[in-house]
């Protein structure tokens, strides 16, 4: 997602590396799973700073995905919920 957003010109690679570095600063990243959480946090913060998605919109989208996968039978692809405010 980060690479795609960068390729679309949403933010510069320098903006991204600064956001990720700020997120990782002061944290010891022991495993890949924790690194992923820092990566996601950095992306969410950067999108908020750029006015692309605020914390409330991101939380609503995460909730919609959680509901979608909870109600999808095992082995069936989870269908992306429609974005809030879109037809």
DSSP state of 39: H
Mean pLDDT of 10-25: 95
Q: Is the pLDDT of residue 28 over 90?
A: no
Across the chain, what does the average pLDDT equal?
Answer: 87
Mean pLDDT of 29-45: 83
Q: What is the pLDDT of residue 46?
A: 96
Token pair for 51: 């006015």
Q: What is the pLDDT of residue 30?
A: 66
More confident residue, 43 or 26: 43
Mean pLDDT of 77-82: 82
Kindly report, residue by residue over 46-78, the tens digit of the pLDDT: 999 999 999 898 898 889 889 998 999 999 999
Taking the C-alpha atoms of residue 79 and residue 11, their distance in angstroms, rounded to an integer, is: 28
Find out whether 40 and 5 touch, Cβ atoms under 8 Å: no
Q: Is the pLDDT of residue 83 over 80?
A: no
Domain spans, the chain:
2-50, 55-72+79-87
């Amino acid at each position: 997602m980060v690479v795609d957003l960068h390729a679309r010109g949403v933010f510069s690679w320098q903006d991204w590396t600064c956001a990720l570095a700020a997120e990782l600063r002061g944290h010891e990243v022991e495993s890949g799973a924790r690194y992923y959480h820092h990566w996601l946090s950095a992306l969410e913060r950067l999108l908020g700073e750029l006015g692309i998605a605020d914390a409330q919109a991101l939380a609503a989208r995460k909730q919609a995905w959680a509901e979608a996968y909870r109600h999808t039978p095992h082995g069936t692809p989870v269908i992306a919920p429609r974005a809030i405010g879109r037809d």
